[in-house]
Amino acid sequence: MLWLPARLAGGRRRQQRKEVFSRMTGAMYAAIGGLKTHMNNLNVIGNNVANVNTAGFKAQRQIFQETIYTTSRSGSNGTVTTGGVTPSQTGFGAQVGSIDLLMSPSTFNPTGADLDCMIEGDGFLMVGNKDAVINGAEDYGKLMLTRVGDLCQDPNGYICDGQGNVVYGFATVVNPYYDPTLEEGTDAYIAAEKIANAAGFTVKDKYAVSSQLVPLRVPTAAAEPTEKNGGIDKDGKHVWERGDPVYDLLGGVASDTDSSRTNINLADGKYFKDGAIDEGSLPEGTGSIDGKTTIQDYTGPVPNLEGKYVNLKSMSINKNGAIVGTGDSGTVVLGYVAIANVDSPSGVTHVGGPYYQALEGAGDITVSAVGGIMSGRYLNNQVPKTDGNTTTVPPMDDALGNGKGVGIRNGGLEASSTDVATEFANMIVTQRGYQANTRIITVTDSMLEELVNMKR
């Protein structure tokens, strides 16, 4: 029998204890990782349960994921004479793999408020500050997305949500292509209708819906008509009545080479002088579309404004997303709420409260209105332009979606998607998992104590 010197034998024993100690502390660190991951899962469950009555809340789920592995023996495929072996690996606990938003639509919660609404299907309302300018699809990110439709009218006539953010949509405006002198079926009517249809308008409707994305607002009220302010014509006929809605006028384009139009707010009063349009006050670069009507050509009556908004006795939102008000002068349609869809709804990023933004992971935003109202149109009333044999189409990103897979249900809000029974079951499983990991730490500590107390 071969005897080793005492010093070498003692060094070997110390090395063996060190290896055993390392393996055992690995188990402890794996358990600690499990504790942290289970604690984080409990945070997710707690947030879901806390928001069980939060309108529009979307529950989250945590996916557990394994951490790193060490390989003590590599695998082999075998040879002609020997079989293969599988690799031997030891894992070191669990970690958070992902925390996912469960964006599937929830149930309807009636509130009785006429302007409360729920989006049926995928999509979000678009809200933000009043001064957001949407020149193209690249500007959609300026607005926030929400599933909570707790809408109301603020003192300035804007349609806002419960947090004071204005709701963006497609507003009703004076139709720049409206021409009551044209008779249907005539060559002039057909030619004018073709040009109007290219922009999504018609020549026979006095008002139209602009595809510019703007804050929705109650129209301004007309003042008491008199002969002096133009409200009564020379024959004594009323051109408008007191309180009649005065819609925005669809103005010109940003430049003569650009086909996008803007809405010019009649309430400003700065574009009019002595009852007519003051061309000198128009925005720089105002031009025309295919040589057709611009704000300069508007010949309709310019109502003297009271400086306040139409007094609406009631206001509601219908199944097509139209915000409709009823006042002394009849029914007023403010416009249609915009619905935003993203490539990956679960990839949106929370930015506080009920609001999301389509940042990295969400993909591109597509904007539409419910029921195909804006189908076939482009943002900012852009139209294809033909120059000889060449037709230039607006950017495809500016094309508005059909929105036919989405609906609006009024009189209530979307309920929280938290399933209490599922959350409680997950809480029990998480608690037991946490408890099991603490047991691993206790057992590891006991074994380490035995190791430390070993005699030399």
In a 10 Å sphere around its CB, with 0-12 CB exposed, 13-18 middle and 19+ buried, how is residue 105 labelled?
middle
Between CA 341 and CA 366 the distance in angstroms is 5
Between CA 348 and CA 342 the distance in angstroms is 8
Between CA 304 and CA 244 the distance in angstroms is 11
Q: How many residues does the chain have?
A: 456
In a 10 Å sphere around its CB, with 0-12 CB exposed, 13-18 middle and 19+ buried, how is residue 49 labelled?
middle
User: Who's near 199: CB < 8 A, 6+ residues apart?
Assistant: 177, 261, 289, 377, 381, 383
- Give me the phi and psi of 147, to 5 degrees please: -105, 0
User: Who's near 291: CB < 8 A, 6+ residues apart?
Assistant: none
Looking at residue 449, what is its pLDDT? 83
Looking at residue 22, what is its pLDDT? 58
Looking at residue 292, what is its pLDDT? 47
Torsion of CA 47, 51, 55, 56, to 10 degrees: 20
Looking at residue 455, what is its pLDDT? 61
* DSSP H/E element including 277: strand 276-277
Q: Which of 358, 409, 320, 351 is nearest to 117 (CA)?
A: 409
Looking at residue 229, what is its pLDDT? 78
Between CA 108 and CA 413 the distance in angstroms is 6
DSSP state of 304: P
Between CA 308 and CA 282 the distance in angstroms is 23
In a 10 Å sphere around its CB, with 0-12 CB exposed, 13-18 middle and 19+ buried, how is residue 220 labelled?
buried
pLDDT < 50 stretches in the chain = 1-2, 4, 8, 289-293
Looking at residue 450, what is its pLDDT? 82
Tokens of 391: 């037709």
Looking at residue 1, what is its pLDDT? 45
Kindly give the interhelix angle for 6-50 and 420-452, rounded to the nearest 10 degrees. 160
* DSSP H/E element including 436: helix 420-452
Tokens of 445: 């500590």
Between CA 194 and CA 203 the distance in angstroms is 9
Between CA 195 and CA 205 the distance in angstroms is 14
**Which residue pairs from 278-283 have beta carbons closer than 8 angstroms and sit at least 24 positions apart in sequence?**
282/251, 282/252, 283/251, 283/252
